[in-house]
Structure 1
Amino acid sequence: MRVDVHAHYFPVDYLDLLKSFGSTRTDIARIPCAGNAEGDIDARLRTMDAAGVDLQILSATPQMPYLEDAGSAVEAARFVNDRYAELVADHPDRFAALAAAPLPHTDEAVKETVRALDELGFAGASVNTSVLGRTLGDPAFDAYWAALDERSAPVFVHAAGRDLDSPQIADHGLTWIVGAPFEDAVGVLHLLRAGVTTRYPNIKFIVPHLGGSLSFLLQRIDDNYLYYNETFPDVPSKLLRRVWFDSVGAYGPALRQAVETFGADRILLGSDFPYFQGDLYTRAVQYVIDAGLTPAQTRQVLEDNIQQVFKLG
């Protein structure tokens, strides 16, 4: 089965709810085929069929219910998770869902995540690389990670679109071109440094966009750990080879480098739908086939590895 692990679903009424709670970032998600407007799902399914994709695993990232007010955050999280549950119920063979949690409110996040996983049957959870300025390594989130670890849940970690708090990114139109993959890299390094992946080893973390710059910088990261006694709980390369990365990148040399660095068994097929539609969606699959991997490696990325991360029917 060919599964796309990196696909977004933005119900219009959910975006409207976030906007009513003060979000100013929903416009980027209001694009054709992104949500539940008339014809959106049929068009999405046609796109999947054209690319030979059997199932999409959907997340609301980066449009997450991260709100200062706990009541609003919980309402938004329950709303979007219910919308996801409805879509999966309508198309159980084509879609699976990742839970959105009302972070940074940890007790509420645990309750809603447990509901989504245990009652609604979600396939895992999703988080942004930062939560209202807090890193994913913040000790306040430990109970949330513990609940996911108890369930051996996959967790998809997506760029927050917050520019790494850098005006050199934000003020020059580079939020998603450059900012996102660097957020991916920084976000997972926060998890590693804080010992989250070590203390909660049953969580299957997935990092998009081939891990951003991580495969290129891995030796440098290791060297700094060994020379400066950086505060990772183990050699960073060992820790990174215990997480997974999606193939969003559409560039053969980058995929080959990621495979050589992390192993072909650590790469999952991803597309970034709906931001890549039509021919670009097909390319997200085809470039893996054309990247110059061995046939066995290609099969791992396109079909085999997903079964090691998700329990799919």
Structure 2
Amino acid sequence: MTTHKTVIDLHSHWFAPSTLDILGRRAEAPRIGRQGDELAIWRTGAGAGKGGAFPLGAQWYDLQTRLTHLDHVGIAHQLLSWPTTLGVDAALPFADTQDLWTQWNNDTAALVAQHPDRFSAVAALSTDNLAWSAKELERGHEQLGLIGGVLPVNGFFSRRSAEAFRGIFEVAQAHRSHIYLHTGFASPKVHGQPPDILHDDNEALRWVIDNGFCFASAVATLAFTDFLAPFPDVTIQIAMLGGTALGALAAEQAVVSPRVQAGPLREHFKQIWLDTGAAGSGTAAVAAAVRVLGSERIVFGSDYAPVPDIRPTLERVRAATATDPDGQKSVLFWNAQQLLARHGVQVAAQE
């Protein structure tokens, strides 16, 4: 049974047909191949797991599987992005990825054109060739109908690393882009990123802690330096609730600290939204972020594709906002509706 579509999901990933083909032809990680009866992707670096393989269910690449699930759980619209978590960009030189990014952007734009009421998208960009990425972001806006680009959050770990992306942000300002920061490392050419730690104990929990630190550091770079000052028309979405709400809590501490004297949080976050992706969907974390930043700075994100079922995330976010019905509607729909409208995407409310 199809439910009323009352939620906008700004954190979801998919693999275009060209992705399966291009990574499927690789013999070494990162590559896509068969693992038993299903597809899997073999990754490299921290977070890849001991075997390096991550299973890919049909939701990653089968459109009908996705649409059926969205209808079932009540998702009106999804923002599609490349999953920087997989580390392809950081692991391979531009010569080995240009076709991958170009074709993903072409295929994704075609999907959006086919289903504009259900999907919008941001472009996949290279961090190994930032000049190309600035041009590709421009192409995404002018030729493909994309609304911005996705970049790995560790590229904004420090002001030093963020400076590498100034050219991309200049194009983003000209086109009033939406820039999405998602888990992962940029190319080693980008200096000032955090260390890539390979843990030998409780890797999953260590990853959560490391991830929170990296995301919160990006929040500090973008909310508490003047990096964004020349780019007032660019909107920023930071995944995983800015580090499982660590970014929001650090921001609160900055405001009350006599050493920082940061000023009102509203000013620091006027261009920034945090989404409730997998590592930021805990009930306590969502409630803390809403309390500190206000419900208007939080948007729903399911992390759909690596997360095959949106319902548990949706239930946790609803539980975190249950005492504030208007705030809950803001997080689940209104904030994203207004944000997308700024970028020319209209999503009608369906009650």
- 1:68 Cα offset (Å): 6.0
User: What is the CA–CA distance in structure 2 between the aligned matches of 1:102 and 1:269, rounded to whole Å?
Assistant: 26
Q: Of the candidates 168, 184, 189, which is equivalent to residue 160 of structure 1?
A: 184
Residue deviations 1:63-86, cap 9 Å, x none?
A: 454566443343222021112123
Instruction: Quote the residue 2:290 is aligned against.
Output: 259
Q: 1:241 to 1:160 in 2, by over 3 A?
A: same
Instruction: Quote the residue 1:214 is aligned against.
Output: 247
- 1:193 Cα offset (Å): 5.4
Q: Are the equivalent residues in 1 in contact too, given 2:124–2:150 (CA < 8 A)?
A: yes
Q: Of the candidates 2, 13, 19, which is equivalent to residue 14 of structure 1?
A: 19
Instruction: Quote the residue 1:112 is aligned against.
Output: 136
User: What is the CA–CA distance in structure 2 between the aligned matches of 1:21 and 1:240, rounded to whole Å?
Assistant: 44
Instruction: Quote the residue 1:309 is aligned against.
Output: 339
Q: 1:132 to 1:6 in 2, by over 3 A?
A: closer
Instruction: Quote the residue 2:82 is aligned against.
Output: 60
Residue deviations 1:31-69, cap 9 Å, x none?
A: 103432xxx222211211121001110110214545664
Instruction: Quote the residue 1:298 is aligned against.
Output: 328
Gaps of 5+ in 2: 1-5, 32-40, 43-52, 187-192, 347-351
- 1:114 Cα offset (Å): 0.8
Q: Are the equivalent residues in 1 in contact too, given 2:60–2:306 (CA < 8 A)?
A: no
Q: 1:51 to 1:261 in 2, by over 3 A?
A: same
User: What is the CA–CA distance in structure 1 between the aligned matches of 2:168 and 2:180, rounded to whole Å?
Assistant: 14
Q: Are the equivalent residues in 1 in contact too, given 2:14–2:60 (CA < 8 A)?
A: yes
Aligned residues: 303
Please show how residues 125-204 of structure 1 align to structure 2 within 5 Å.
125-131=149-155, 137-160=161-184, 164-167=194-197, 169=199, 172-174=202-204, 176-192=207-223, 195-204=226-235
Q: Are the equivalent residues in 2 in contact too, given 1:11–1:34 (CA < 8 A)?
A: no
Q: 1:193 to 1:76 in 2, by over 3 A?
A: farther
Instruction: Quote the residue 1:79 is aligned against.
Output: 103
- 1:264 Cα offset (Å): 0.8
Structure 1 residue 92 corresponds to structure 2 residue 125: no
Residue deviations 1:275-313, cap 9 Å, x none?
A: 2223xx112223333323411111111111012321323
Q: Of the candidates 254, 268, 273, which is equivalent to residue 244 of structure 1?
A: 273
- 1:14 Cα offset (Å): 1.7
User: What is the CA–CA distance in structure 1 between the aligned matches of 2:252 and 2:329, rounded to whole Å?
Assistant: 27
Residue deviations 1:99-125, cap 9 Å, x none?
A: 111223222111111111221101221
Q: Are the equivalent residues in 1 in contact too, given 2:274–2:299 (CA < 8 A)?
A: yes
Gaps of 5+ in 1: none
Q: 1:149 to 1:136 in 2, by over 3 A?
A: farther
1:48 is paired with a residue whose SS is: helix
Equivalent AA in structure 2 for residue 49 of structure 1: D
RMSD of aligned Cα (Å) = 3.1
- 1:205 Cα offset (Å): 0.5
Deviates more, 1:58-67 or 1:98-107: 58-67
User: What is the CA–CA distance in structure 1 between the aligned matches of 2:282 and 2:256, rounded to whole Å?
Assistant: 27
Instruction: Quote the residue 2:58 is aligned against.
Output: 33
Q: Of the candidates 4, 29, 37, which is equivalent to residue 9 of structure 2?
A: 4
Q: Are the equivalent residues in 1 in contact too, given 2:269–2:297 (CA < 8 A)?
A: no
1:310 is paired with a residue whose SS is: helix
